[in-house]
C-alpha cells in the first residue's frame, strides 16, 4: 500500500473509530487519572484530532459537570479545545493542595487498606508538600499498634521499604485483621480460638 493509501486508511479509520469509541465512565474524584485513561482509549482508536477529542469529552459529561465548564462550552477557543477543556476540568474538579493537606493531617485513616496502599495514598495526598520523614511519622501513627511496634524497632527511613515491611507484618497478623474488620463494622470481635 502506498503512503497516500496508508494516510487515507488511517484517516478513514480515525473517522470510523471516533464514531464508535466508548470512553471510560467519568471519574470526577480522580479527574487527571481519568484523562490518562481517556487518552489511552484515544490512542488505541487512532483519534488524534483535537476537535474530535473535545467532542468525545463533552458528550461524556453529565449536566452537573457541563455546568462547571459552561463558560468554555459557550465560548470555546478557536484552537486546542481538547487541551483547554482538559486543563479547566482538572483545575476545577481537583481538590486544592490545602484541602488535600487538611484531609491528610486531620481525617485520613488506614481503613481496610494494607499499610503499603495507605502509604501510597498518603504520598499522593501530600503531593511532595510534606517532607518524607514527617509523612512517615504521620503514616506510622495511623497503623495498627502491633505494626507500629515492629516498625519502630527498625532502622529504616525509606517510606516505600517501610511500607513493604508493614505489608508483611499485616499479612501474618490474621487475628489482628479480624479484630480491625469487626471493629470497623461496629461488631464485637469473634475469635476462632474460642
Lowest mean pLDDT among 7-11, 43-47, 83-87: 7-11
Mean pLDDT of 64-78: 91
Which pLDDT belongs to residue 189?
A: 47
DSSP state for residue 28 in the 8-state scheme: G
Which of the four pLDDT bands, split at 50, 70 and 90, describes residue 90? Answer: confident
Residue 26 included in any domain: yes
CA-CA-CA-CA torsion sign (13, 19, 20, 24): positive
Q: What are the CA-CA distances from residue 7 to residues 16, 21, 51, 52, 53 (Å)?
A: 14, 20, 19, 18, 19
pLDDT, tens only, 155-169: 888 888 888 988 888
Quote the domain boundaries for residue 30: 3-93
pLDDT at residue 42 is higher than 70: yes
Choose one of 93, 124, 156: the last residue of a domain. 93
Indicate if 115 and 52 belong to the same structural domain.
Answer: no
- Rounded to whole angstroms, the Cα distance separating 110 from 102 reads 16
Mean pLDDT of 141-145: 87
Backbone dihedral angles phi then psi of residue 2, each to the nearest 5 degrees? -75, 165
Indicate if 164 and 116 belong to the same structural domain.
Answer: yes
Strands (E) in 44-123, as ranges, are none
Closest CA to 109 of 134, 132, 131, 139: 139
> 3-state class of 62 per DSSP?
coil
- Torsion over CA of 92, 98, 99 and 103, rounded to 10 degrees? 150
Read off the pTM. Answer: 0.49
What's the chain's average pLDDT?
77
pLDDT at residue 149 is higher than 50: yes
Indicate if 26 and 104 belong to the same structural domain.
Answer: no
Residue 190 included in any domain: no
pLDDT at residue 81 is higher than 90: yes
DSSP string, 37-82: HHHHHHHHTT---HHHHHHHHHHH--HHHHHHTHHHHHS--SS-HH
Q: What percent of the chain has pLDDT over 70?
A: 73
Indicate if 86 and 131 belong to the same structural domain.
Answer: no
Mean pLDDT of 12-32: 70
Residue 64 included in any domain: yes
Q: Which residues contact 12 (CB under 8 A, 6 or more apart)?
A: none
Amino acid at each position: 500500500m502506498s503512503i497516500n493509501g496508508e494516510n487515507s486508511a488511517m484517516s478513514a479509520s480515525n473517522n470510523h473509530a471516533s464514531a464508535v469509541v466508548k470512553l471510560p465512565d467519568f471519574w470526577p474524584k480522580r479527574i487527571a487519572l481519568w484523562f490518562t485513561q481517556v487518552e489511552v482509549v484515544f490512542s488505541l482508536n487512532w483519534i488524534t484530532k483535537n476537535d474530535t477529542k473535545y467532542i468525545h469529552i463533552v458528550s461524556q459529561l453529565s449536566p452537573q459537570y457541563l455546568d462547571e465548564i459552561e463558560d468554555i462550552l459557550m465560548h470555546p477557543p478557536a484552537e486546542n479545545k481538547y487541551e483547554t477543556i482538559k486543563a479547566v476540568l482538572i483545575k476545577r474538579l481537583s481538590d486544592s493542595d490545602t484541602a488535600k493537606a487538611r484531609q491528610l493531617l486531620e481525617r485520613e485513616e488506614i481503613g481496610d487498606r494494607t499499610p503499603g496502599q495507605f502509604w501510597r495514598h498518603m504520598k499522593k495526598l501530600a503531593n511532595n508538600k510534606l517532607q518524607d520523614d514527617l509523612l512517615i511519622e504521620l503514616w506510622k501513627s495511623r497503623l495498627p499498634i502491633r505494626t507500629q511496634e515492629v516498625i519502630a524497632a527498625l532502622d529504616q527511613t525509606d517510606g516505600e521499604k517501610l511500607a513493604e515491611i508493614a505489608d508483611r507484618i499485616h499479612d501474618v497478623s490474621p487475628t489482628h485483621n479480624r479484630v480491625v474488620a469487626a471493629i470497623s463494622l461496629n461488631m464485637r470481635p469473634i475469635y476462632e480460638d474460642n
